[in-house]
Amino acid sequence: MYNEIVMDHFQNPRNIGEMTEPSGVGEVGNMKCGDIMKIFIKVEDGVIEDINFLTFGCGAAIASSSVLTEMVKGKTLEEALAITNKQVADELGGLPEAKMHCSNLAADALHKAIEDYRQKQTA
C-alpha cells in the first residue's frame, strides 16, 4: 500500500528523538485519530539549523515526519512556513488517499513549532 520512498522513511526514519533546548516545539494530531506528531526545531539567524521529530502513528505519519525534517533543515523560517502538507506527501512520492487527511500533518506541526519559537522571541 505504501511506495518505496515511504517505506524507506518508515524503516530508516531521519532525525528522530527529543531535542535538548529546542528553539521551538510544535505538536499536532489527537489520539482519537491515532496520530500525534511532535516537531522540535533549533533556529539560528532565522535559519532552521536542526530539526527532530517524535511521532505516534501509522506508517504514513512516521514517514511524513521523517521526510519533512529532511526538507526543512537549512531553510529560512519563511521558506519553512511555505511548506504544505501536500508538498510533504509529494516529496514522499504520494500517500494513499485515506492517509492524506489524517496522517499527513507534519507541515502543520512544523508551522506550530515556528509559531512557538516566535512567541518565545517576543515574550
Partner 1 sequence: MKRIYMDHGATTPMREEVLEAMLPYLKEIHGNPSSFHSFGREARKGMDEAREKVARALGASSPEEIYFTSSGTESDNLAVKGIARALSSRGNHIITSSIEHHAVLDTVKHLGEEGFEVTFLPVDEYGMVDPKDLEAALTDRTILASIMMANNEVGTIQPVEEMARICHEKEVYFHTDAVQAIGHLPVNLEKQPFDLLSLSAHKFYGPKGIGALYVRKGTKIKQILFGGGQERKLRPSTENIPAIVGLGRAIELAVENIPEKSAALTALRDRLFKGLQEEIEDIRVNGHPTQRLPGNVNISVAYVEGESILLSLDLKGIAISSGSACTSGALDPSHVLMAMGLDHQTAHGSLRFSLGKENSEEEVDYVIESLKEIVERLRKMSSVYKK
Number of residues that bind partner 1 (CB under 8 A): 29
The region of 36-44, 76-84, 87-95, 113-121 touching partner 1 under the rule CB under 8 A is 36-44
Catalytic residue among 7, 33, 77, 100: 33
d(CA 120, CA 90): 32
3-state class (DSSP) for residue 56: strand
The region of 10-18, 75-83, 84-92, 114-122 touching partner 1 under the rule CB under 8 A is 10-18
78-94 in b/e burial notation, b at 16+ Cβ within 10 A? eebeebebeebbebbee
CB of 51 to partner 1, least distance (A): 14
d(CA 84, CA 32): 23
Pick the binder of partner 1 from 23, 48, 59, 72 (CB under 8 A).
Answer: 59
* Catalytic residue ranges: 33, 102
